[in-house]
Structure 1
């Protein structure tokens, strides 16, 4: 029998179940809800309640208002350390809260307890209750989406992004809570500590591709927003491709990391050519001229085969705004069995704001917040390339964070800021005939680590950054 509880009030655009479903009853199973509550009472909650918590069962997971109240009372008893939970304690708790009558009274507690003889079916009952809740949430999200379309049909992209976020949150609800007890975070932190100790200084995140940078950062880590900025023609895209290469190709203990690269400036084919030549150590100029020795042709063939199996995804859509970019990343993340492990955006100033009427500085702030939000939402590192203004060149000095164009919000949101530049001693008198030149990668900000400067060397004819050795420059 259907219970007409679990109605939400609030704003007018929130769909009531009766309005949302018409004559149809929302998905639910009262018997399964009763059986789950009976399991907890029969077992006492010591083993059954942790299972419910792990499977994200909450009061609102129940369709019946009575069952919501009963489970909420059980939760309070469990959190207070009262064990075992039984009918007497449960009835007393409901009386204290003044909700016993709404929960069905004494007789209903007895009826629930007599529903089953043994708690052996706990996992099955939990899954049935949880799945019913998720189905109802899908219906609710769908109807709210319909209501939003009728309320404001003008901003299609925002509507689409809103729908995707609702569905993503429902899916996410199966695997993680938005707010977790600190014990869980401490357990995770201790696992990280053990990982640090076991690796003894080795990287614990996604490899940057550069030994000295790995030592300073221990790699890229989940939820981090990393900004890599430079003046034009300094090699930002080449550096990003080298970082992508390090992520997508397995190396020693490190497995390949699925990586999504947004290229708002260069086409996917151009990027693939640069990656192929850089990895294969082939001079692109000679390749274009057609003068490529046979051994280099073989190198390219081997490299192509290696990269064809790599988990790199390139999106070269131009003119994306931050909502569109996040939606694409979210979709790609959900399509992969284990999700993405890294996102790279080339570059921030080419991402559009959602409202072109507001000042560009406000748009950049929105975009920057969106990039950090994407890193947190997908639980992966996000590398964002950016432009530096002319101030460091005018003043003949090394760049600093304030040289980032529209830098305020970027500096605040970023966990790591890397500034790519010529070394100070080479700024004015670099030998233009050299094919291999040094470059400074200044760690201007690192929220969880040291700042400093890492020197790389850049091979011009390969457009490739590599670990620096003094004799190579």
Structure 2
């Protein structure tokens, strides 16, 4: 796409904007000086136009640097509650060398005189942004070509691909990831918008519902840009809880578009699941077991009745429509995981990301010990959550010191390499099932008194699990009681009572 020609606003004898005076390469760069002139003119004539287009364009989108400076000055004046007009802007740009070259303050007046209708301003703003993105793409392509031609020991081809993909994702997201400083006014407006959405949503949740009401009540759902750690000893059910939540989110997914035609999630979300321990088939079996209410061991053995097999097939058919994507590549480096998450969001969307589990990830190879490597991994996971603006739920193993205590309920200090995990996480949750430990404390059959006490304890904890919230940046800590059906590897709300907070 070539450039659009500009109207003649320069003084007599000067080259009009848009005329090619540079190299042949410059002639291929897309821009529209005329669109920039007329949009600025519209704002100088009617400051209300700025409010309509301020979310679309900023100074960095203008091809001509003088136009960029004029736009930024208009933005400062208007957002500060002052008038932006040819007269007021002239006072601040009388010494601007670029403006003098275009004819000085008279150039501002000519732009205002040639202004478009305010109703067309949004279309011109979209055009300016489109050309800016195309110029960025051209620059990225040239950079990729130059870096690929230069053979370097420090940066191999695979690393260059990851870097290019990251930049390309940021372009696709229209600069969301690199937004720099923003005013408190805008941040406060965003906070009010989130609170309003929570107020209007059933249950008053600010984030994506987990499908477990008691847990949602405590967390407020899964909130964008949060890193949540879900930890537990083996056999506690942390993978089961993660797959339950992932299935609930994907199953509830509904999509629409907002007024600007952008994708808008109306319920649930698109889920990405990195399964570094289990294969995709094993993970799918767990999810199907829960959905079909057929014991997972029966599915693995193929020991199903006709009715169970029919339920299994029906669940598989229903789940084909769920936006749940599984990557079971083992020992992924954190930078590759980030690149794959970006690619998934760009191609299919991504609203919640799961990683099972943290200790199976690898760093970039630059850390000299495991503690530093885990710190690099947790910082990388938090960076993914912020960059993609999604909640990231990472599972984590606990150290064996839990087993040496009489009370086996986990604590923050039980996290392996706990310093960085505890520091970088917004929420730390532990899965604990007392039933698992009590089953292994069964007394001898001849000790009737001990057997009676054991049976009483077993009755009180049978089919129950606890999610202990050990850290939460946005709210209090506490314990949520859930029901656990081991045969279906399924967690659910306890029907008999409200959650008990610790």
| Shorter-normalised TM range | 0.7 to 0.9
1:44-123 equivalences under 5 Å are: 45=47, 47-58=48-59, 60-83=60-83, 85-95=84-94, 100-101=99-100, 104-116=103-115, 118-123=117-122
How has the CA–CA distance of structure 1 residues 451 and 49 changed in structure 2, closer, same or farther, with 3 Å as cutoff?
Answer: same
- Deviation by residue 1:51-73 (Cα, 9 ceiling, x = unmatched): 33111322x32222322232233
Distance in 1, matches of 2:377 and 2:97, equals: 48
CA contact (8 A) 2:428 2:472 kept: yes
Q: How big is the shift at 1:324?
A: 0.8
Partner of 1:381: 391
- Deviation by residue 1:54-113 (Cα, 9 ceiling, x = unmatched): 11322x322223222322332333244222x32222211212667652564134334433
Q: How big is the shift at 1:19?
A: 12
Partner of 1:181: 183
- Deviation by residue 1:130-157 (Cα, 9 ceiling, x = unmatched): 2221111112222233344326364333
Task: Kindly indicate whether residue 423 of structure 2 is the aligned counterpart of residue 412 of structure 1.
Answer: yes
- Deviation by residue 1:420-442 (Cα, 9 ceiling, x = unmatched): 22339955626799995433221
Q: How big is the shift at 1:199?
A: 5.0
CA contact (8 A) 1:256 1:310 kept: no
Partner of 2:406: 396
Which of 281, 291, 295 is the aligned partner of 2:293? 281
1:69-468 equivalences under 5 Å are: 69-83=69-83, 85-95=84-94, 100-101=99-100, 104-116=103-115, 118-149=117-148, 150=150, 152=152, 154-173=155-174, 177-199=179-201, 201-250=203-252, 255-336=267-348, 339-355=349-365, 358-397=368-407, 398-423=409-434, 426=437, 429=441, 437-468=463-494
CA contact (8 A) 2:253 2:269 kept: no
How has the CA–CA distance of structure 1 residues 73 and 192 changed in structure 2, closer, same or farther, with 3 Å as cutoff?
Answer: closer
How has the CA–CA distance of structure 1 residues 82 and 384 changed in structure 2, closer, same or farther, with 3 Å as cutoff?
Answer: same
Which of 40, 45, 61 is the aligned partner of 1:42? 45
Q: How big is the shift at 1:230?
A: 1.1
Larger CA deviation: 296-305 vs 142-151:
142-151
Distance in 2, matches of 1:444 and 1:21, equals: 63
Q: TM-score, normalised by structure 2?
A: 0.81
CA contact (8 A) 1:388 1:404 kept: yes
Q: How big is the shift at 1:412?
A: 1.1
Could you say what secondary structure the match of 2:281 adopts? helix
CA contact (8 A) 2:169 2:343 kept: no
Q: How big is the shift at 1:128?
A: 2.0
Distance in 2, matches of 1:193 and 1:112, equals: 42
CA contact (8 A) 1:66 1:102 kept: no
Larger CA deviation: 85-94 vs 177-186:
177-186
Q: How big is the shift at 1:179?
A: 3.7
Distance in 1, matches of 2:23 and 2:159, equals: 22
CA contact (8 A) 1:20 1:140 kept: no
Q: How big is the shift at 1:356?
A: 5.6
Q: How big is the shift at 1:361?
A: 1.4
Distance in 2, matches of 1:113 and 1:198, equals: 43
CA contact (8 A) 2:275 2:356 kept: yes
Distance in 1, matches of 2:417 and 2:495, equals: 35
Distance in 1, matches of 2:300 and 2:117, equals: 75
Larger CA deviation: 448-457 vs 245-254:
245-254
- Deviation by residue 1:148-189 (Cα, 9 ceiling, x = unmatched): 432636433332221112112222226784443323332232
Larger CA deviation: 434-443 vs 395-404:
434-443
Larger CA deviation: 257-266 vs 427-436:
427-436
Q: How big is the shift at 1:301?
A: 2.3
Distance in 2, matches of 1:418 and 1:134, equals: 42
Distance in 1, matches of 2:116 and 2:222, equals: 52
How has the CA–CA distance of structure 1 residues 152 and 81 changed in structure 2, closer, same or farther, with 3 Å as cutoff?
Answer: farther
Q: How big is the shift at 1:280?
A: 1.5
Q: How big is the shift at 1:355?
A: 1.3
Distance in 2, matches of 1:310 and 1:20, equals: 52
Partner of 1:9: none
Q: How big is the shift at 1:322?
A: 1.0
Could you say what secondary structure the match of 1:276 adopts? helix
How has the CA–CA distance of structure 1 residues 292 and 66 changed in structure 2, closer, same or farther, with 3 Å as cutoff?
Answer: closer
How has the CA–CA distance of structure 1 residues 123 and 458 changed in structure 2, closer, same or farther, with 3 Å as cutoff?
Answer: closer
Q: How big is the shift at 1:388?
A: 0.5
